[in-house]
């Protein structure tokens, strides 16, 4: 995985986007490189959260940050009562604001 100083922000974003939208086998395989890039400051926490949730969804497990939708609805969510705390740590807007953009009303379980 290149670093931000080697390729620049636009290219790092393109690498992340390619991995985010590849098949689940490659997403999971390269996720440790994404984690490392986030820890090094080459990618942001939001990118980490989106990919982590996508991988969890791939595995049929509840997502952590509430970033993934399936069939026009929020995909199942782990501990929904604290999702906004987790989202804030990752630099994400509240789940309510996020879902409103998709015309989905958030109802905590």
- Going by pLDDT thresholds of 50, 70 and 90, the confidence category of residue 108 is confident
For residue 106, is it within any domain?
A: no
What's the pLDDT tens digit per position in 41-89?
999 999 999 999 999 999 999 999 999 999 999 999 999 999 999 999 9
- Give Dmax over CA atoms of the chain in angstroms: 45
**Overall domain count for the chain:** 1
Element (H, E) at 70: strand 69-70
For residue 8, is it within any domain?
A: yes
Question: What range does the domain containing 54 cover?
Answer: 4-100
For residue 77, is it within any domain?
A: yes
Distance CA 54, CA 48 (A): 10
pLDDT for 58 equals 97
For residue 39, is it within any domain?
A: yes
Asked if residue 42 lies in contact with residue 48, where contact means CB atoms within 8 angstroms, the answer is: no
Residue 109 predicted with pLDDT over 70: no
What's the pLDDT tens digit per position in 29-43?
999 999 999 999 999
Distance CA 4, CA 16 (A): 12
Crossing angle of the two packed helices 24-39 and 9-20, in degrees rounded to 10: 150
């Amino acid at each position: 995985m290149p670093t931000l100083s080697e390729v620049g922000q636009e290219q790092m974003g393109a690498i992340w986007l390619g991995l985010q939208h590849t098949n689940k086998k490659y997403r999971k395989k390269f996720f440790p490189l994404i984690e490392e890039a986030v820890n090094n400051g080459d990618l942001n926490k939001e990118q980490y959260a989106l990919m982590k949730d996508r991988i969890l969804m791939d595995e049929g497990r509840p997502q952590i940050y509430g970033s993934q939708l399936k069939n026009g609805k929020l995909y199942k969510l782990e501990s929904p009562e604290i999702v906004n705390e987790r989202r804030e740590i990752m630099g994400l807007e509240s789940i309510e604001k996020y879902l409103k953009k998709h015309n989905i009303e958030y109802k905590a379980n």
